[in-house]
Amino acid sequence: MSYPFKPNPKLDLTLERFLDAPRELLWRAWTRPEHVKQWFTPKPWVITDCEIDLRPGGLFRTRMQSPDGKEVNDRHCCYLEIVPNERLVWTDALLPGFRPSGEPFITAVIALTPEGNGTRYTATAIHRDEATRDSHEEMGFFDGWGTVADQLADYVKTI
Amino acid sequence: MSYPFKPNPKLDLTLERFLDAPRELLWRAWTRPEHVKQWFTPKPWVITDCEIDLRPGGLFRTRMQSPDGKEVNDRHCCYLEIVPNERLVWTDALLPGFRPSGEPFITAVIALTPEGNGTRYTATAIHRDEATRDSHEEMGFFDGWGTVADQLADYVKTI
């Protein structure tokens, strides 16, 4: 049976990279708060809090803060699918316990595929409509998620 | 590890019943389109279409129609969790493939627990806030879901 999701270029945004790291390491960096805090927001923003309850219905929370501390983005998301070392899916359309959040923006799918000595890294943002997709692109999806992928690749060399 | 969801009476609505049927039968009635069509909307409304792709991220669609055919409710929901004979979770906050729907109303959790010769049947509607919960109650949650539970109990005697 095929996976029930295929990105739709009209609705979704995808960032794809080859990362020079084994996928087990990338998985670890994506699923432990102490690691996520080190790379998950484009510097000089920082992550001041991260909570992870790694199971379907569990919480994925990151609190991001601007360098001057004035802007804060505290996101409570819900994990949907967890396939260790392979695929991680969460959404802000639901809160922990699968509760509708009332502020549905994206579902994110992180896919890790072995390639040579490294990993094909694919991060997809799934949106409800073209307007949301386009606004996300204008907000700087490729820049932001690209910077974060670079930070991730650098960070995993240190763990 | 405990289940990541506990109903909150301020936000959620729960219908609980003892049903005189084995849970395997109730599970079958809940997960096959030809069965769902027979009992899932309070009569004299009818279900004219039902699609089920029974896996996390898969589609659960029901098209309900009023007796005069004038009113139609065509709901595209997404399965979140499937524990055969035990627990079924889906939401209208997501479309198939975990896509945010933009119209988040409920997540539903159906729990089936063996009790004597029958089943303790618990249907919970999870809402994002008290206003949504209260409006759902005013819309007739207990009546509607209760009628449907009666129809389910009657129907499974025929399969």
Q: How far apart are CA B3 and CA A8, in angstroms?
A: 33
- Tally of domains within chain A: 1
Asked if residue A7 belongs to a domain, the reply is no
Output the pLDDT for position B120: 98
Count of other CB atoms within 10 angstroms of residue B48: 14
Residuewise pLDDT in 10s, chain B (159 residues) = 467 778 899 999 999 999 999 999 999 999 999 999 999 999 999 999 999 999 999 999 999 999 999 999 999 999 999 999 999 999 999 999 999 998 899 999 999 999 999 999 999 999 999 999 999 999 999 999 999 999 999 999 999
Output the pLDDT for position B1: 43
Residues of A with CB under 8 A from a CB of B: 1, 3-6, 11, 53, 55-59, 80-81, 89, 91-102, 104-107, 109, 126-129, 132
User: Which residue, B133, B9, B7, B118, is CA-closest to A97?
Assistant: B7
Asked if residue B143 belongs to a domain, the reply is yes
Q: Are residues A104 and B105, on separate chains, in Cβ contact within 8 Å?
A: no
The per-residue pLDDT of chain A, averaged, comes to: 95
Count of other CB atoms within 10 angstroms of residue B142: 12
Output the pLDDT for position A103: 83
Q: Are A79 and A53 in contact (CB under 8 A)?
A: yes
Q: Are residues B56 and A53, on separate chains, in Cβ contact within 8 Å?
A: no
Chain A: give the shortest CA distance to residue B11, in Å: 10
Q: Are B94 and A94 in contact (CB under 8 A)?
A: yes
Asked if residue A145 belongs to a domain, the reply is yes
Q: How far apart are CA A159 and CA A96, in angstroms?
A: 29
Structure tokens at A92: 């802000």
Q: How far apart are CA A9 and CA A38, in angstroms?
A: 30
Contacts (Cβ under 8 Å, ≥6 apart) of A124: A7, A12, A13, A14, A15, A108, A109, A110, A111
Burial annotation A13-47 (CB, 10 A radius, 16+ → b, else e): bbbebebebbbebbbebbbebebbbbbbbbeebeb
Which of A4, A101, A126 minimises the CB distance to B53? A4
pLDDT in tens, A106-141: 999 999 999 999 999 999 999 999 999 999 999 999
Output the pLDDT for position A5: 79
Residue A2 clears pLDDT 70, i.e. is over it:
no
Asked if residue B4 belongs to a domain, the reply is no
Chain A: give the shortest CA distance to residue B33, in Å: 18
Asked if residue B134 belongs to a domain, the reply is yes
Domain region containing B43: 12-156
Output the pLDDT for position A1: 43
Question: Residue A110 belongs to a domain with what CATH number?
Answer: 3.30.530.20
Which of A5, A99, A132 minimises the CB distance to B128? A99
Q: Are B90 and B78 in contact (CB under 8 A)?
A: yes
Angle formed by the axes of helices A141-156 and A23-31, to 10°? Answer: 110
Asked if residue A107 belongs to a domain, the reply is yes
Q: How far apart are CA B79 and CA B77, in angstroms?
A: 7
Please report, as a single letter, which amino acid is at residue B60.
F
Asked if residue B6 belongs to a domain, the reply is no
Asked if residue A2 belongs to a domain, the reply is no
Backbone phi and psi for residue A46, each to the nearest 5 degrees, phi listed first: -130, 160
pLDDT in tens, A56-73: 999 999 999 999 999 999
Which of A5, A104, A106 minimises the CB distance to B93? A104
Rounded average pLDDT over A86-100: 97
